[in-house]
Chains A and B, each alone.
Chain A
Amino acid sequence: MCLAVPGRVESIEESTAVVDVGGATVRVRLDLCPDATTGEWVLVHAGFALERVDEEYARETLALFAEMDALKAGLGEETP
């Protein structure tokens, strides 16, 4: 129910955006995310853009892993 899927904003007209969600084109309201711009990624939920998201999902995950390793080193955890 709280599922939201990422899509890329193709164009914007007034408060509605055309968003590419995995190859499908959907019309999405921008009431809750008025700052979205063309080319950005947004999370789409129930026909509304819910939030802008970082385009590079994978890169973010990589960054978090790197951070985690740094954290681990900082805490001086023993390695298994």
Chain B
Amino acid sequence: MRFRRQPTALAAALLLAATLAAATGASAFTLEEFRFENPAQEQEFRELTGKLRCLVCQNESLAASQSDVAQDLRLKVYGMMKEGKDKDAIIAYLVDRYGDFVLYEPPFKPSTYLLWIGPFLLILLGGFFLLRALMRKKSVPEQGLNAAEQARIDQLLAAGEDAKDPAK
């Protein structure tokens, strides 16, 4: 069924256009068309599918992915929007089935506290150690040379003087 269609010039042109659109990084839907009642609804659909992750091609959003499963899920999201479900309900529907993984932005909850707060904790910790190191440096008293070191320096300096003046 999927392969029955004859490749026509129009299809070839569409495919080319789709490839070009994909190549330029546009997140446009290239293989299907969804009809919306108003631009706001379309905007919401794009936002929603941009926030959701395709589980097959994991670095792609649901909006950008060409995978078959992504298409099924887009249709599902589209269908639920048509039914009048709001954004949160649609997201909850997908999270219930696919887990938080389907979201690009992980939710803030106990299992992700470390993920969200960790970097700030590390900055604080680093700042603390940096400050401490700086304070300590200042408080270390400058130490003079001991007698043996002074004698060695005098000796080296004297040797240098001798080398400079071979006539002596």
- Binding partners A and B: no
